[in-house]
Amino acid sequence: MLANQNSKKPSDHFELLYKTLLDSIPSSVLMIDDKLNVISVNQNYLVKSRRSKENTINCPLSDVFPSVILENTGFDNHIRSVLRIRKAIRGQKMTYRGPGVPIRIYYYSILPVVPGQVMLIMEDVTEQTNLSEDVRRVERHLASVVESASDIVLSIDMNGRILTWNSAAADLSGLSSDEVQSQLFHEYCEPGKKTIIEESLLYISGLRRANDSYTIEFCLLTPTNNNNTGILISWVFSPMKDIDGATIGAVIVGRDLAERRKLELQLRQSQKLGALGIMAGGIAHEIRNPLAVCSSAAQFLLSDGVDLEFRKQCSMKIQTNINKASTIIENLMAFAGSSMDGNMTDIVLSEALEGTIALVANQAKVQKIKIELMQSPEIILVSGVVGLLQQVFMNILLNAFKAMPSGGSVSVTIECLSDSVEVQFIDTGIGIPVGDIDKIFDPFHTSSPTGQGTGLGLSICYRIIQQHLGSIRAESSPGKGASIIINLPLLLI
């Protein structure tokens, strides 16, 4: 390794081999003597530092390394101590900037090789350092995404113990991440959810892909809140997998449903107002008719010489027509004021349908549409919110009206199946285009010209029927009308 000019010695061969070896390794290797002069250097160092062999070998260390480095790292002192006590120093970090080269980061070791000489090995770890810096940056970024999410993001292990708990979870529950750490998740959920969480874990551990998930709704308890009823959350369980693909827990994202419920309610309310708007024309017609009769009859009574018989007739007409007008208003009030968020009650299906039909009857008359309700002999009960079901029926009927611009008919049939009841609305309108039949329940799908339909009616129907544990579908052949079929679970008495 040391310069030796005698080429005839058998060690020549090995010396050359070592030199080649040293020059080819990607680390810098320098030999330094006890006067802190560089006595040997490999190719890698010369390339990295952009120095020539001539101005490096036999030069003092302070000439070879920038003085800044020597001062900052205490590098020369380290070398002196290794020379003195002959104990290696390993894995020190040094930032090195050669003239005109970008900053590099090195790990260096100082090894006592022979007495009076040390070997300095410098390994370039710039790339690795940058890489781990990047990893840390991504980690920080992900953590801040999870932390700043407005949804609850938490993770649990396979035993259901909480691993992480983001600030949205802390805000909603009132419990900090430290408080819940390693606690069982079900203890913070409404009672009786232990099994459901276990089953969810079992279910998702069977899922093949990490982006498959399992959705469920239940309450998160809010112990800090006085009325500890909890907040209804929609939870999405996804498997958390280790590097070998084994499920080691679950990532659970939870969304506060209160906000969504509120929006849904507003949407239904405005949709209902829209339906009332459509019916306003028909209602005006139907109220002004009895008003006109009453007005004329009252004027007859005012004239002179009215005989008793006619007087009686006039009073009767006034009374009947006032009743007619007030029935129309009552139906309207019942619909407009119907609870949109009430509790499920037992509903006689035919009565709910009759009420709705009575309400749209005026509009049907104006559009020359006949509505036929085929009653079934038995009383059919379903569980539901009357106002919501009537909104569904009304939407379907008004849609049917729209499909029959020059009149037609809608027949409504009720048919009992084994454990459910099917309500069919069959119209004689223009029908639904073949490609649209799958889309009509999508929000904002509309066949109406811009500004004349929001395209939300049927999507609201879909959601309402879904909440009643039923289903809704459409059948149609273009030009031959359409059928909307609602299936609701039968309430057995």
What does the binding site for another protein look like in residue numbers (CB under 8 A)?
A: 281, 284-297, 299-300, 317, 320-321, 365-366, 368, 370
The owner of tokens 């009720």 is: 414
Q: How far is the CB of 363 from another protein (least distance, A)?
A: 11
Which contiguous run of DSSP H or E holds residue 345? Answer: strand 345-348
Query: Is the Cβ of residue 194 or residue 317 nearer to another protein in the bound state?
Result: 317
Query: Is the Cβ of residue 53 or residue 368 nearer to another protein in the bound state?
Result: 368
Tokens of 298: 């009252």
- CA neighbor of 350 nearest in space, from 375, 330, 317, 383: 375
- CA neighbor of 362 nearest in space, from 397, 311, 414: 397
- Outline where 382-479 has alpha helix (H): 386-402, 457-467
Q: How far is the CB of 312 from another protein (least distance, A)?
A: 14
Report in angstroms the alpha-carbon separations of 339 from 336, 347, 385, 389.
9, 14, 8, 11
Q: How far is the CB of 372 from another protein (least distance, A)?
A: 13
Distance from first CA to last CA of the chain, Å, rounded? 101
- CA neighbor of 223 nearest in space, from 172, 166, 156: 172
Q: How far is the CB of 386 from another protein (least distance, A)?
A: 28
- CA neighbor of 233 nearest in space, from 174, 190, 183: 190
Strands 369-374 and 408-416: parallel
- CA neighbor of 219 nearest in space, from 191, 177, 185, 183: 191
Q: How far is the CB of 353 from another protein (least distance, A)?
A: 20
Q: How far is the CB of 327 from another protein (least distance, A)?
A: 14
R_g (Cα) of the chain, nearest Å = 42
Q: At what angle do helices 386-402 and 308-336 cross, to 10 degrees?
A: 100
The SS3 assignment for 23 reads: helix
Query: Is the Cβ of residue 17 or residue 284 nearer to another protein in the bound state?
Result: 284
Query: Is the Cβ of residue 137 or residue 368 nearer to another protein in the bound state?
Result: 368
Burial of residue 163 (CB within 10 Å: 0-12, 13-18, 19+) is middle
How far apart are the C-alpha atoms of 187 and 145, rounded to whole Å?
Answer: 26
- CA 14, 17, 21 angle in degrees (round to 5)? 140
- CA neighbor of 364 nearest in space, from 493, 278, 443, 246: 278
Query: Is the Cβ of residue 219 or residue 291 nearer to another protein in the bound state?
Result: 291
Q: How far is the CB of 220 from another protein (least distance, A)?
A: 54
Query: Is the Cβ of residue 181 or residue 299 nearer to another protein in the bound state?
Result: 299
How far apart are the C-alpha atoms of 230 and 358, rounded to whole Å?
Answer: 41
Q: How far is the CB of 410 from another protein (least distance, A)?
A: 14
Q: How far is the CB of 191 from another protein (least distance, A)?
A: 58
User: Is-contact 369 403, C-beta < 8 A?
Assistant: no
Query: Is the Cβ of residue 230 or residue 282 nearer to another protein in the bound state?
Result: 282
Query: Is the Cβ of residue 203 or residue 300 nearer to another protein in the bound state?
Result: 300
Q: How far is the CB of 369 from another protein (least distance, A)?
A: 9
Query: Is the Cβ of residue 87 or residue 285 nearer to another protein in the bound state?
Result: 285
Query: Is the Cβ of residue 54 or residue 304 nearer to another protein in the bound state?
Result: 304
Query: Is the Cβ of residue 27 or residue 313 nearer to another protein in the bound state?
Result: 313
- CA neighbor of 234 nearest in space, from 217, 249, 250, 251: 217
How far apart are the C-alpha atoms of 130 and 132, rounded to whole Å?
Answer: 6
Query: Is the Cβ of residue 260 or residue 368 nearer to another protein in the bound state?
Result: 368
Which contiguous run of DSSP H or E holds residue 233? Answer: strand 231-241
Q: How far is the CB of 228 from another protein (least distance, A)?
A: 56
Q: How far is the CB of 276 from another protein (least distance, A)?
A: 17
